Structure formats: structure tokens, C-alpha cells
Structure 1
Amino acid sequence: MSSRIEQLLAELTPEEKVSLLSGEDFWSVPAVERLGIGKLRVTDGPNGARGGGSLIGGVKSASFPVGIALGATWNVGLVTEIGAALADEVKSKGAHVLLAPTVNIHRSVTNGRNFECYAEDPILSAELAVGYIKGLQGQGVSATIKHFVGNESEIERTTISSEIGERALREIYLIPFEWAVKKAGTWGVMSSYNRLNGTFTSEHNWLLSTVLRQEWGYDGIVMSDWFGSHSTAATVNAGLDLEMPGPARDRGQKLVAAVNAGEVSVAMLDQRVLAMLRLMERVGSLDDHRTFQEHANDRPEHRALIRRAGSEAAVLLKNDGILPLAGSGKIAVIGPNAKTAQIMGGGSAQLNAHYRISPWEGLATALGEDRLSFAPGCTNHRFEPVLRGTFKVEYFANQTLAGEPAHIGSMDDAQAFWVGHVADGKVDPLHFSARISGVFTPEETGEHRVGIYAAGFGRVFIDGKLIADAWTGWTKGRTFFEEGCDEVVGTINLEAGRAHQVAIEFSTKEFATLGLAAFAVGIGLPLGDAAIAQAVDAARDAETAVLFIGRNGEWDTEGSDLPGILLPGRQNELVEAVAAANPRTVVVLQTGGPIEMPWADKVAAVLEAWYPGQEAGNAIADVLTGAAEPGGRLPQTFPVRWADNPAHSQDREVYPDLEGKVRYEEGIFVGYRYYDRVGMTPLYPFGYGLGYTSFELNDLVIDDSGFESDGKLIVSLAATNTGDRPGSTVVQLYVSDDKSTEPRPVKELKAFEKLHLEPGEQRSVSFLLDARCFAWYREAAHHWLVEAGGFTIRVGQSSADLPLTGSVTRSTTLMLAV
């Protein structure tokens, strides 16, 4: 602790101390001008830095690949580069803290936020988190690793109790956070919304004080997720430093009163304040008195990095020799994601990207548009397409659209996300109404679908007729972070070329947890059999058909889990029809996690491209044409069907929830650990991915000279590129306990290294394993235990391809402190 912050603490009044422990507004902690303490500003991440704007619109930002895409790179160095680049983005938005990375585990295949997280495996997640944090904080910007802990589902996430045994917590869910503290020195941690075993994590003393601070030695801050604090004394005493957002709800004068009443000691208050001052000193906000400004810095080096990372994230799941594309024949570009750039997931991670490159644009640039033909085939949207255009907005300082407007403004597109500051401050952001008016001119005549969903009451009129009503009988659904209703859809016949008058009425309502107001209105014309027939004709007339299918940020989103892992809409039907017409069919998937692929054996190639950021189309085209290697390996097992996933259960308390609880019954057997345990072969295993060259691993050597004394081991081997072009692979090392007194996984990932080798190049790889690599957590004794007996070392290029094996043995047990 520096003498400066000690001096500041001594000079702060009780009220000033308390002011530093809650937000001033949605994105900042107040300054203390009397002592020259500047304002601390935060911004959402993790795949960019949105700044202080709404989730919709705002100052433009660079859009990087999402978390699962970075997980698929298995490249710690690359993720460190991205962390450093994100520091530039944070600074361009006038902020000091990035709310990232997200390291919750892929427990299920249907979690709406899997796209934002790295992996199903704690070691892969932890290694990448360490790189991300070091890159970010190396540039003076604080990370805020999240969500601590047990937020593996978006269903009732603000109230649910995640019932997780301590062994599963220690061996799976806490490891990325532990490494972030011990190996990366993270300056920030964000508590999750949920309860952990009955207690909100924001007031969980065992979690925030015993584990995080006492056992791990953490000296940074813990902030609440937005509106995730539920008490005053309990949160402060448990270890929650900062309540967000502001203005204060549970702190402020309530905390002053709690200190005066002896519910919170002065010493405890000072601990919380010192943590905040320490963070402010680390990120330089103590002395940051600049006028707040946000800039849209579209940097060429960020463009190049995003494109490179997008290619390295792409996982080639199948290739019958059709890729990379060669020759000069006609290519049919088909599918709902072909001309739409799906660059990110939904929720707090979304931002206003500088630009979006679609796969069509990427292929047109790489191959020439004259070689391409296009057919959409079908749709894959969850909601009707947002109504685009410029709209007049009349704001009323009441909830009944009564009287004269308090403010008149405009909006681009028929959607809004209002938080904190609305209509230039002329209405209460939680108690207002609005009338939005504009026109819609259809391109085709026919029966159109009109949809609206809202965190508030909303309805849509076209040419004066009520078409979609989300006002009367409003019911809570799975939109806008569970504050909104599900989409309400009506139909109307519209005439091509005619400017139809559109009026949208909106009013706020009481919120459950998150204080926000929002709506989205869309109008769409359904595609039918004719669209699939058109796609089949295009495929039949081309040498190669490339199908761009999957999901989008409406499906893969914060605040809503997936209903399953079948492709939405008629996409499976489209693949079957196109593959029947042209056996040279390549499927390019964009999803935030696994899908079922009933057509996998009928297509020539499958590429999983995830949501790779603003350079999506260029990165995908680079891989398809061979300008770049498909460098990704799966960070999550792809099961044959949803029912194969360990979280899938007839018991609703296991998933999705029952009476306020979700029970992690599978314990430590998450992902590949489960499939190994039950002997089930997945569609594609964890760690799997093909490239455009081949690799051999050999010469495994194990140095166990220190294994008996301290549990350490050195494993070395040689990796060779045996193909005729440069390429990459991931060398993966797994450990098996041959005989344990408690159930353990068949194998567990303990180390890995991404290699890029030229043709014929050979490189030595070494791994240093410590005692924790062989230990399991014994709950009753509260320690890690390495048991006497044999262990098997397995090395290969996926969890299902481990040709190199070796054995080591201990004659004594070894107990390790937490």
C-alpha cells in the first residue's frame, strides 16, 4: 500500500469514503474534488470496449472475436495481444476498467452466454484468462474477471441458487479465477448475480473473504454485477467493495447509517475504501481530470489482429479434400448468414462496430464477385428483422403518453435501449412514455409479420391499425436480460412500394432487477419452399456450394438460454436439399456453441467460424481459400444430440431450474470428463480440429526426478509438420490417476501449447507439471491431495487422439494447502 493512498484515506470524511463504494451513474465512480481524486470510469467488454453508450448505437468501437472463438485458438500469446489492443480501445472511450474477461464454464450446451466464455475446461479457460489480463493490465487498464461464481446459465440468473459442491467448485469453476489472482494479478473481480448454495455471491463471506482474499491473497476490488447488490452491511462485511451502477441503492446514506449503528465497523469500511483507492492508483484515475471524451479509433493494426484471430479461431471439423477452395469454377453462396455479418453475440457484450464484413463480401474480394451466385434459402432469425430507417420520437414525462411531449428526438432503427439518461434528461428514465413514428416501404407485396418485444409496455400500429400488442396482458419473457417480454407477432398485408405509416407506443413499467427500458420492432416477409428450391438450383448450377448457416446474437445472448441445439428455422432442411443437389457442399457454421448435425455425413466439409468480430467475412474467406490456416481446436465438446450433454436431465433442478435452484449434480464431470466417464463418443471431441497440413508427435520423455519429493514433473516431446504447407496444431497433455480413493475423471487437461511450423519443421515441446496437476480436492480435510500410486501422462492433438503415453509413480501421499 502506497503512502499516498494511506494519506488520502486519512483525509476522507465518512461520507466521502462511502461515496467511493458505489457508482455515481451507470459507468463511473464519483470524484472527490476536495482531495483531487479523479473519477473512475468502466466500460463493458469482453470482445471490445463499448464505452458509456447504450447497447444500441453509440460511439463506434472495434469488435474482436467473442470468447468461445478465443477459446478455440488455444493461443495464449494471441489472447495476450488482444488484451493489449483492448486496452487501447478502453482508453479511446475515456475509461480505466474493462468489465472482462468472462470465464464461466461451458457446463451445458444451451447456456445463452457460452459464446462469451472460453471453454468447458478450467485449465484452458484459466490459461487464456491469464494472457488476456496480462495484456490488458500491462497497458494500465484494469481487468474485471467475471462472474464470480456459478453463473453457467441465463435462466432466472439474478435470483437462482447454483448448488455446487466444494470439490466441483475447487476443481472446475474457481480455477480460472484462482489463476487470474495468483498468476495474472487481476485488479478487478465481478461477483455474479446468482446465489451460491443459497447466498448471493455479492454477500458471500466464504467466497469473497475466505477464498478470494485470505487463501488466494487478492488485493484488488470486487464489484457487483449491475444491480447485483442486495444489501448494505452484508455486502460490505462479506467483501464487496463497489456497488454498481449508481446512484447508490444499498449504500450512500444507508451505509453511513450502518457504520454509525455499528453494523459495519470503521475498519471494515476502510478496507473497502483502500481497495478502491488502490485500484484508482493502479489505473491512473486518481490524477485523471481530463474532460470526458469518447473516440472511435479505427486502427489498422486492430483490423489486422482481428482478421488474424478470426482465422485462427476457425475450427475445421470435416474436410473431404474440398478445402481449401481451388480452381475457377462457379461457387453458390447460400444461407441466411451469407450476406449478413454475424460478428458478435447479444447482451452487454454487444457494441456498435466500426464496420461488418459479411462472408459474401469476403469471398467477393478474395475470388471476384463474378464467380459467385447467391440464394438465401431460409431465415434463421429469432425475432422479426429490425425495422430500419429514421424515426421521430416524442418523449412524455408520464407513463400514459399524455399532454405535450417533454422532448422530441429521433432514432435510427425501431429499437432502443434506455438506461440512466433519457431524452437529454428531460424525463425520468424509469417513468416515461414515448411515441415513435415513421414509415415502412416493402419491397414485395404479401403478408408480413410484425413483431415487438419490450422491457416495458409496447404496441405497434400500421396505417392506424393495431397489429402487434405487447401492452395488454404483458408477460415476462426471455428478452432484455429477463426484463422484457417474449416477442409478440401480428400479421398484415402490405403493398410493395407503398410508404406505410408506422407508429410505436411505449411506456415504462416496474422492473424486476435491472433498471432499464427497451423495445425492438421488426417487420419480415417469411421465406417458403420457393426459397429452398432457388438455393437448390443455385447449388446444382455451381461447381461448389458454400452454405453459411447457424445462429446469431438473438439466439446466443445474455439473458436467455437456448431452447435446444438444433439449428433454428429450416436450416437443416436447407443443408439436406443443397447437399443432395451438389455433393461438393461446404457448410460454414456461425454459432456460440455446439449444434446437432444430422447431415454431417452428407456434406464435404464443415467449418465452425463462431462470431469472429468485424472482420468476419475476410477471416472466413481467408480460411476457405487457404490464405490462412484453420487454426482452431474445439474448446467445447460437440455432442451428437442435446440429450447427450451432462447437464441435460429429466430432473428440472439439474437443468434448467426448479423452485429457485439449479443443482450441479454432475459435479466435476463436465464436458469431456462426462463423455469419458460414460463411454459416449461425441460428434466432435474436445480439442479436435483439422488443418491443411499434418503433424506427428514423438519422442516422449518424462523426467520424474522431483516427482516423489515435490510432485513436479517435466514432460518433453518433439512435434513435426509432416505436410507440404505451413500450419498449426495444439499439443495437449492430459493426466490420468490410475487408481484413486475418490472418483476422478479418466483424464484431465493439464497443459497445452499452440505450435506454428513450416513444412518439415520439427520443434521440441516441454511442459513443467506441478503437484496440483495430480491432485484432487478433499472437502472434508480442506486440502488438495496427491495420492500414492501410478499416474499416466497422455499427449496428443485432441482429447480423443492421445498416442503418446508414459507412466510415473509415487510411493507417498502429498497434501497441498488451498
Structure 2
Amino acid sequence: MTHPRSAPAGNTPVTSADEAREAVVEAALGRLGLDAKARLLAGQDMWSLPALPEIGLKSLVMSDGPIGVRGVRWTADDPSVALPSPTALAAAWDPDLAHRAGVLLAQEARRKGVHVLLAPTVNLHRSPLGGRHFEAYSEDPYLTGRIGTGYVRGVQSGGVGTTVKHFVANDAETDRFTVDNLVSGRALRELYLAPFEAIVGNARPWGIMTAYNTVNGTTMTEHHHLVNEVLRGEWGFDGFNVSDWMAARSTAGAIEGGLDVAMPGPRTVYGEALAKAVRDGEVEEAKVDEAVRNVLRLAARVGALDGAEPAVTDLPAPVDGQALAREIARRSFVLVRNEVRDGAPALPLRPGGKVALIGAAARDARVLGGGSATVFPDHVVSPLDGLTAALPEGTLTYALGADPNEELAAADRGFELRAVCRDADGTVIGTGSAPNGHLQWMGSDRPDGVTDDRLHTVELTGTFTPRESGAHAFGIKGMGAFTLTVDGTTYFDDVQRPAKDDPFEAFFGAPVPRARVELAAGEPVEVSLRHVVALPEDLPMKVITFELCHQEPRRDPDELIAEAVEAARAADTAVVVVATTDLVESEGFDREDLRLPGHQDDLVRAVAAANPNTVVVVNSGSPVELPWRHEVAAVLLTWFPGQEGGAALADVLTGAHEPGGRLPTTWGSLTDAPVTQVTPDNGELPYTEGVFIGYRAWEKEGRTPSYAFGHGLGYTDWMYESIDVTGRSVTVRVRNSGERAGREVVQVYLAPAAPGADRPARQLAGFASVEAAPGESVEAVVELPARAFEIWDEAAGAWTHVTGAYEVEAGRSVADRRLTATVVA
């Protein structure tokens, strides 16, 4: 008999295929004993669940996203397509583009044997100081929900599951394992739960990941109300719920709170501990059955359960990953300033003009953010690469200008390394590659023949050929005993200990400098980093991770800026690329300020003074302060643009394509930002701002940001001609009044005529993209959702329609509203 369950999310009808899969799931569940069921709910290693051959269940494999599919091996030996950051994807304001990204990622997942992608991240940009905001879409829940819906639909159309994360209010990194976020019921519903609700209702995701943090006194892996009553009960979610890695803390608390899978394994609060809790009468076996049923349903959907037809049998057409990565990048670039100089705008570049490209990030591109979102593409196109290929020979020069990397980075350029494994007697028992000085072996990742009981040391060894002469710095990222040797001299032979009490310090902690060595350009030297492996028995996972790090010789900043100024003076246009670093934007910590690191602000000002036609390219995943923005001719935001970022930049700068992005989050100074508190006090972080974050808060406080939510320029102009509202359908007519074809994102905001102190002045209620030739007039049609007219009534515990007059405002950003119509709800 098929077990009764709620209708799929979003009131999607239950199909005959759903019923057939459910019958197979129920039959498989009935053949499992308690121990097997409990074992299935605990990871067997870092990334997978155990196979159960007795019911025809294959091992379910999960892998990190969201910009690529890393697979089960965290190494550059197993390359992945690297798409632009989620902030970039959201900046395109195009759910269909997000869908196409998802299709590509499903294709990558299937290539790597992955069933479930650990993405997308739909937490909100509550404060600009959030260190991981590059991995989330936006400050606005509606935009986040639309982009996330497209992404999930795309991935799952390829037969691969998603886990929408991190449920919920995981909006900062400080003390993320222990923080208790105190959020009002209204703010939860209208802001932080809203993207999850939209995606569950519109995309029917096969998975949700619950967060590390606590919400209103209950840790999310045990949050019965939000998981069982809201997510599963109200919204009808029928997928599986997996913990964030190492988030589950209590056996009974987790299973009662609706957590299906505790990752990673094999040591978790489930498995043997869960079976014992049932036998001891602490947990009802029916609770275990519910969790197992959800996991088996996932397996059936992805084709990992014998006898069940997968949810997708006809896969989408193959996608060219390189081409799509380039398209997403240029569609995401946001041109926030483009002044007319000498009768023409600064961008696109004038054909045949001399260009001085300046900045360390122009040569050594930063294409993705730090942390678990990291993947390893097989190539990266830097801005220098892209412009060299696109511009006529002899028209491009390059100067370093200023290097934001004041810390060590992975031993990549110039290094040729391998990993050598030895036992306690010094006998080599296996070798592996380490192409970028980064070693991260999880579970079965060890080289052939290497077992934990025999492994005593791992040595990264090989050669380094400098590209510059001078004092090179070497260092270590990781915990434990290390010996660092460069060119025959041992510089460190000791134990490196964690700087803070964080189980992921070895993954995301900063590298520690341990040597400074004078080297000559072009002359190779031997390098070695030996690590004594110690795998404590009480660790939930057996991970060996460390990294050899390096920094090139540091030159005098004033000297570098002077060289850049000379290059700028000799050019028609100076293009300065500025960037953040892994120590500014990464998983594991929040930001201390919004300034660009190093001497980059000084560089921009000096170049702009030397050449009034200065274009600044900002390579960051989330907002930074731009104190010089009025001194330069153009500012182009490129986010973390993925592996094809340099090619896309050349497309946009040369005018082959227009920049297509609009801001998904407000850019302004930290001094003016309304919400800045991300550090808990006595373990608690009150969300005292309520429903006022992002542009809602900027407007409430009467503050003017550098660039408003939704802002973005193209290479043509638009006239907003008319607006018509019929019921909840808004039709906006716009005309391309410029001289070239273009794309416009028509944004519709809903403003209550009498908002009162407890309602935002306006909120995004819809958007649509249109394309038009010069002089052409086109219509954008936007449907207003019913939720735009509702607020959450905490006393009633329900959504309440707010009657009255509303202004329907159409425009180019929240601060540039061109047309208005009045409706009465």
C-alpha cells in the first residue's frame, strides 16, 4: 500500500509516475530493518550515503556547487566548468538564464557521477558585511526566489537533485555554528523564508539543507516548527532534508525536528546512535521511516533505486559550458557609471585607441569566491588574456599598478608539484598529483594503495620557477606538524595550530608565512612541504587537507603606482581592474569593512588624475566602497565572473555586447549602510531591523547609496512611454531611444499609498526583460503576485491581505521610477 503523503509542493498534481515511484519506495522501505534504515540516514563518508544492495539502492552522491560541480574529489585534477558567482547570475535578472545555468550544472553532475547538487544558496544580503554574500543572490526575497526557481528547475530538468540552502536565516558567517538569530515571525515570513517558499512552490526542489545557526532558541537541524510545520506542512515539501556539514548535534532532537540525513559520515548523530535511540525508546521508529522514505524518494527521482523510473527520462540537449559561462558573465556585468568625455561615452572603447590595462587582478584574475563554493576550472581567461585577444596588436599595454594580494595564495603559477605518501618507516606507499599546491583528501580520495592505517606522512614536492626575481614568501595553510624546505634549506619544522575554535579552520583559515627566500627569475628551485598525518579517532570524517602557499616579491607601492600613471598618460583609455581577495570575501568569516584591500584606491585616483578617460573594472562578489567613483569616466562591476570572465570583459569593453546587468543589491558606504550588525552579543544576534533590509532600509532611513538596487546602464537609452494595469497584469511600453539595439529590464515596484511606519515604502513586485532595435517600441508584461499585497500577521499566524490604494511604479531601478499607476486592492 502506498504511504499517504501531502500533494507535491505548490499544489502540483500527483502524477501516475509519482504514484509508481512512491509504490517502489514503500516496497523498498518495507524490506529494511532498523539498522539498515539508521545507517542510510548517516553519510558513509564526506559526500555520499551508503548503498543498500538488498533493495537495489545505489550510493547517493552529493557535491558542492553553486557555480560548478566539484565532484567528490577536491582537486584541480578533476576540473569543473566555473560559472560566474551567484551575485552575477542574479545581476542578469533573468530566470531563464538561471535555468540554462542549471541545465549545464546537471550535465556536469552526471559527468562526475553526482546525484545531488548542494545548491543554490538563497539566503539574503541582510548586511553588506556578510562574508559569503557572493554565494547568495540578492538582498531582495522576490528576486532571489525568481532566480532560485529558474536555477532549481534547470538542474532538476537534468535529472539531478538540488538542496536549497541554508534553511534559514544563515545570513552571516560570524559564529555561524553557535549564533542564535532572533528574528520576528514577520521578518522570517516576509524576508528570510520567502525565497524558500517561492522555490518550493514553483520549482518543487528535491532537497533542502538546514543551516548551522539557531533561530529563536532552536538550532535549525532540530527546528520542528520551521521544518515539519512550515516547510513540510504548510508548503507541502516532499523532498529530503540534509544537514549542513557537521551541523547535526542531537540524535533525538534532529529526527524529531525533521532532519532526514546527517552529514558527513561515518560518525554522525544517526547510524548506530539512531538505531540505539529507537531501541531505548527515545525515538519512535515511525520517525525513522519518514526520513528513510524521503531519502528513498530522492533515490527514485534521480534513478538510484531499482524498479523506479527516474523523474527525468529525456535529458536536455548538451550545453557548451565555455560559451554559457561567457554569456552569463557579460549578461551580469553592471555598468553603473559611463560619462561622456570628448563627445562620446567612455564605453564602449573607441576602435583603434591605445589602452593601458592596469592592476594585478587584470593579470591574475579572481574568478570565484573562497570556501566550499570553490571549483577548479581547466582554464581561466584573465582580463589581460581577453583584451590581448580582442584588441589590435600594439594597442594594449599592461602595468601591475597595485596588488591587492597582501597575503599568500595557493602555490600555483610556476610550481610543478606531486604528493608522495610514506609509511612510518619512510617507505613510499603511493603518489598523487597536487597541481596547485592544494591537497584535500576526503574519505576514499587517497591515492591507490594508501590506507589510513599505513599513512604516516604526505609530502608536496617538486620545483618552482619564479617569474620575478626577489624575495619570495612561502607559507602553510593547515593544521598539524609540517616541515617546509625551499632550495635545500629548511625554514619551518614545527606544529601549526588553529587560530580559532572552528572545525573548518583547516579549510578556510588564512595561510601562515613561514619563509622568505631570495630567488632569480627563470631559475627553478626544489620545494618541499611535508606533513605528519594525524587522524584523531573522534573526528566525524577522515580528511587530510593542507596547502603550500606562496607570494611573489613585494615592490614599493608608490613605485608601482608611478609606473601605472606613466602607462595611463600614454594611452587613450586607462582600464584599471581592482579586486577583493580570499581574505576579504570567503566562507568562514564576515567582512570588517567595505574597502578595497591594499593600495588600489590610491591607484585609481592616481590613474584618473593622469588620464580623465579612466574606466574602473570592479572584480568583487559583493559591494565595496568606491570613494573615487566621481573622478573616473566609467565604472563596470564584474562580480566574480567565472572562468571566461576575461573574454566576457573584452566583449563588453569593445562593444561587441552591451553589459546586461542590474544591481541585485544596494551598493553604498559602510557609514551609511542601515544594517551592519553581524557579530553576536552573548551568542545572540537580534534582527532588530525587522523587515527593513536592503533598499527597504535605505529608503526608510532617508539615505542615498552610491548606486541603488536595480541600477544598471547599457549602451543605448530607453524612454518609458506608458503603463497600464488591468487586474494584476501590468503592461509597460518602452522605446529604445538610442542608436544601437539593446536589452532593458523593466522593474515594477508596489508602493502602498499609506505605508505606515511598519511597512516598506515600496518593494519589488515583478520584472521583465525586453529587447528592441533603435527606435523600436516594445511592451513588457508583469504579473503582480498576490503576496505583494499581503503582510504576515504575527498575532493571527497568517498572511493578511492589506486593502487600500497602491502605486504601481515602473522604472529602471528602485531610485529611477519612470511611470506610475494607481490600483486599489
- So what's the TM-score if we normalise by structure 2? 0.90
Residue 150 and residue 517 in structure 1: after superposition, are their counterparts in 2 closer, same or farther (change >3 A)? farther
Partner of 1:292: none
Separation of aligned partners in 1, 2:643 and 2:453? 32
| Kept after mapping to 1: 8 A contact 2:370/2:582 | yes
In structure 1, list runs of 5 or more residues that go unmatched. 290-297, 649-653, 705-712, 811-818
Partner of 2:256: 237
Tell which deviates more after alignment, 491-500 or 160-169: 491-500
Partner of 1:805: 820
| Kept after mapping to 1: 8 A contact 2:84/2:367 | yes
Separation of aligned partners in 1, 2:748 and 2:453? 53
Partner of 2:53: 33
1:644 deviation in Å?
A: 2.0
Separation of aligned partners in 1, 2:493 and 2:146? 48
Match status 1:522 vs 2:550: yes
Partner of 1:437: 461
AA matched with 1:52: V
Partner of 2:721: 698
1:311 deviation in Å?
A: 0.8
In structure 2, list runs of 5 or more residues that go unmatched. 1-18, 309-316, 340-344
1:158-557 → structure 2 map (5 Å cutoff)? 158-287=177-306, 301-320=320-339, 321-381=345-405, 383-388=407-412, 389-395=415-421, 404=427, 407-421=430-444, 422-424=446-448, 426-428=450-452, 433-458=457-482, 460-463=484-487, 465=489, 467=491, 471=495, 474-476=498-500, 485-490=509-514, 492-496=516-520, 499-507=524-532, 516-520=543-547, 521-528=549-556, 529-557=558-586
AA matched with 2:290: Q
Separation of aligned partners in 1, 2:541 and 2:178? 12
1:244 deviation in Å?
A: 1.5
| Kept after mapping to 2: 8 A contact 1:655/1:663 | no
SS of corresponding position for 1:611: coil
AA matched with 2:31: E
Partner of 1:814: none
| Kept after mapping to 2: 8 A contact 1:450/1:468 | no
SS of corresponding position for 1:183: helix
Residue 430 and residue 385 in structure 1: after superposition, are their counterparts in 2 closer, same or farther (change >3 A)? farther
Deviations along 1:587-633, one digit per CA (max 9) or x if unpaired, are: 11110111111111111111001122221111111111111111000
Deviations along 1:478-528, one digit per CA (max 9) or x if unpaired, are: 895576653322553413155544332434566998864422321321122
Partner of 2:604: 575
SS of corresponding position for 2:305: helix
Separation of aligned partners in 2, 1:443 and 1:620? 26
CA RMSD of aligned residues (A): 2.6
SS of corresponding position for 2:551: strand
| Kept after mapping to 2: 8 A contact 1:696/1:720 | yes
SS of corresponding position for 1:547: strand
SS of corresponding position for 1:802: strand
Tell which deviates more after alignment, 720-729 or 586-595: 720-729
Separation of aligned partners in 2, 1:145 and 1:100? 6
1:50 deviation in Å?
A: 1.2
AA matched with 1:22: A
| Kept after mapping to 2: 8 A contact 1:456/1:519 | no
Match status 1:749 vs 2:742: no
Separation of aligned partners in 2, 1:288 and 1:156? 45
Tell which deviates more after alignment, 588-597 or 389-398: 389-398
Separation of aligned partners in 2, 1:149 and 1:215? 16
Separation of aligned partners in 1, 2:38 and 2:713? 55
- So what's the TM-score if we normalise by structure 1? 0.91
1:598-747 → structure 2 map (5 Å cutoff)? 598-639=627-668, 641-648=669-676, 654-704=677-727, 713-740=728-755, 743-747=758-762
Partner of 2:43: 23
Separation of aligned partners in 2, 1:780 and 1:429? 59
SS of corresponding position for 1:351: coil
| Kept after mapping to 2: 8 A contact 1:477/1:484 | no
| Kept after mapping to 1: 8 A contact 2:46/2:443 | yes
Deviations along 1:750-784, one digit per CA (max 9) or x if unpaired, are: 11112222222222222222431111111121011
Match status 1:64 vs 2:90: no
1:406 deviation in Å?
A: 5.0
Partner of 1:95: 114
Residue 463 and residue 695 in structure 1: after superposition, are their counterparts in 2 closer, same or farther (change >3 A)? same
Separation of aligned partners in 2, 1:430 and 1:304? 45
Deviations along 1:275-331, one digit per CA (max 9) or x if unpaired, are: 111111111111499xxxxxxxx9772222221111110000110111111131211
Separation of aligned partners in 1, 2:319 and 2:625? 38
1:532 deviation in Å?
A: 1.4
Residue 600 and residue 19 in structure 1: after superposition, are their counterparts in 2 closer, same or farther (change >3 A)? same
Deviations along 1:534-588, one digit per CA (max 9) or x if unpaired, are: 1111111111111111124453221222232111111111111111111111111
SS of corresponding position for 2:41: coil
Separation of aligned partners in 2, 1:247 and 1:425? 21
1:48 deviation in Å?
A: 1.1
Separation of aligned partners in 1, 2:693 and 2:437? 41
Deviations along 1:166-192, one digit per CA (max 9) or x if unpaired, are: 111101011111011111111110111
Residue 459 and residue 105 in structure 1: after superposition, are their counterparts in 2 closer, same or farther (change >3 A)? farther
Separation of aligned partners in 2, 1:439 and 1:491? 16
SS of corresponding position for 1:643: coil
Separation of aligned partners in 2, 1:751 and 1:473? 51
1:676 deviation in Å?
A: 0.1
Residue 396 and residue 484 in structure 1: after superposition, are their counterparts in 2 closer, same or farther (change >3 A)? farther
Partner of 2:64: 44
1:396 deviation in Å?
A: 5.1
AA matched with 2:382: S
**How many residues are aligned here?**
785
SS of corresponding position for 1:40: coil
